[in-house]
């Protein structure tokens, strides 16, 4: 029986015990169904990157001068201090730590009570610390960057054992075009686990996004500096995206139907299934090879050009308006989703796993 996510807040102690046991089983080479497959894959990548579960500090920490430079390089530098101050509790009774990290997972802003800061210092959770997967192993910040959604990491879900006494919740912060600018994270000791933390993080991320959107020029489309974001074909608007059944296609307002090859249909289904994907995550889902990012970039470029769909990069995401047109997202049981496909990620979507 897998570890139910509701247990995370209903019984934090039981969730912690089972997740830590699953951590030991998985890292000793055994198999466990107690944790989300995304966490298990993140652990595997952490190990492949050379991170030790007994590591105490991140692989790199920026100097004070480097932190100042990194802050200036992110669009969040004009809003982060206000967001952190709004979410943090710096009173003597404050229990949680608030941090804002950039898209590379580097902690650039931090706030909390004196006791929260001391606890964070004990695991080098400090400004300048590399909290990416490759810097300190899987954690809420790295998982939020990987999945593009609000993510929890409680106790044993962290790759590094020194973090097992913590529960963390992180959410991407996006600009008006949907691009991820950084991550807002709230962390506190396990015993203070509360479902309300997710609401706090969501509110903080939305505050950051509203402040970014209000900045001069923020709503004006800019030049996409991602070299794989070749412009798509200018065409009439898309009115339907059909991925149920044997003939996947994108339908335009003028009635033309653009058939999709099996691979492009799988790619589009995955893009539609969540808010955002990294190139590495798509590579693993499509090819079972996280290093096939060049192939994924080429497929995304060709899908854009063929269909005219609005697919953002860094991370990859289908625009919300077009996601609403995807047929399998509007049915309760998408049993007919790409019936020819046998890749595990599509099978999971088909049967709601």
Phi, psi angle pair for 139, to nearest 5° = -155, 180
Structure tokens at 95: 């229990």
Contact between 282 and 316 under an 8 Å Cβ cutoff? The reply is: yes
Residue 3: predicted pLDDT:
66
Residue 256: predicted pLDDT:
85
Residue 227: is its pLDDT beyond 50?
no
Phi, psi angle pair for 258, to nearest 5° = -105, 110
The class that CATH gives domain 7-213 is alpha beta
Residue 218: predicted pLDDT:
63
DSSP code at position 298: H
* Mean of pLDDT over the chain: 88
Q: Of the candidates 132, 172, 144, which has an alpha carbon nearest to the alpha carbon of residue 38?
A: 144
For residues 230-253, average pLDDT: 77
Domains in the chain: boundaries: 7-213, 238-350
User: For the chain, how long is the longest CA-to-CA vector?
Assistant: 64
Rounded CA separation 12/10 (Å): 6
7-213 and 238-350 share one fold: no
pLDDT in tens, 72-105: 999 999 999 999 999 999 999 999 999 999 999 9
Structure tokens at 171: 């959410």
Question: CA quadruple 109, 111, 116, 117: dihedral positive or negative?
Answer: positive
10 band by pLDDT with thresholds 50, 70 and 90: confident
pLDDT in tens, 261-297: 899 999 999 999 998 899 999 999 998 888 888 888 8
154 band by pLDDT with thresholds 50, 70 and 90: very high
Question: CA quadruple 124, 130, 49, 311: dihedral positive or negative?
Answer: positive
C-alpha distances in angstroms, 174 versus 32, 66, 180, 251, 303? 34, 24, 4, 29, 23
Higher pLDDT, 213 or 226: 213
Residue 226: is its pLDDT beyond 50?
no
Query: Which listed CATH number (1.10.10, 1.10.1060, 3.30.110, 2.40.40) goes with 238-350?
Result: 1.10.10
Q: Report percent pLDDT > 90 for the chain.
A: 63
pLDDT in tens, 320-346: 889 999 999 999 889 999 998 989 999
For residues 143-162, average pLDDT: 93
Contact between 269 and 328 under an 8 Å Cβ cutoff? The reply is: yes
């Amino acid at each position: 029986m897998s570890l139910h996510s509701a247990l995370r807040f209903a019984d934090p102690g039981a969730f912690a015990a089972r997740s830590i046991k699953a951590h030991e089983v998985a890292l000793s080479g055994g198999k466990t169904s107690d944790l989300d497959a995304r966490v298990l894959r993140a652990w595997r990548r952490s190990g492949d990157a050379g991170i030790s579960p007994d590591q105490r500090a991140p692989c790199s920490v920026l100097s004070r001068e480097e932190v100042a430079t990194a802050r200036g390089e992110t669009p969040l530098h004009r809003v982060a201090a206000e967001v952190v101050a709004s979410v943090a509790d710096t009173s003597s009774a404050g229990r949680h730590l608030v941090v804002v990290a950039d898209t590379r997972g580097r902690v650039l802003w931090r706030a909390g009570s004196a006791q929260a800061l001391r606890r964070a210092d004990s695991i080098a959770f400090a400004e300048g610390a590399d909290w990416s997967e490759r810097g300190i192993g899987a954690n809420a910040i790295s998982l939020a960057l990987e999945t593009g959604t609000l993510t929890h990491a409680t106790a044993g879900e962290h790759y590094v054992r020194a973090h097992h006494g913590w529960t963390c919740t992180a959410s991407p912060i996006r600009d008006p075009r949907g691009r991820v600018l950084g991550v807002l994270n709230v962390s506190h000791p396990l015993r203070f686990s509360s479902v309300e933390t997710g609401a706090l993080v969501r509110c903080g991320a939305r505050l950051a996004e509203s402040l970014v959107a209000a900045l001069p020029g923020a709503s004006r489309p800019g030049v996409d500096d991602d070299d794989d974001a070749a412009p798509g074909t200018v065409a009439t608007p898309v009115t339907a995206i059909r991925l149920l059944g044997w003939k996947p296609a994108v339908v335009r307002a003028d009635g033309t139907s653009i058939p999709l090859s099996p691979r492009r249909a799988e790619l589009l289904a995955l893009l539609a299934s969540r808010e955002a994907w990294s190139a590495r995550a798509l590579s693993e889902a499509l090819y079972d090879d996280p290093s096939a990012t060049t192939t994924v970039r080429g497929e995304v470029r060709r899908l854009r050009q063929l269909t005219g769909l609005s697919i953002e990069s860094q991370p990859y995401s289908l625009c919300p308006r077009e996601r609403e047109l995807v047929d399998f997202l509007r049915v309760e049981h998408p049993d007919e989703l790409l019936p020819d496909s046998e890749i595990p990620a599509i099978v999971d979507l088909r049967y709601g796993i």
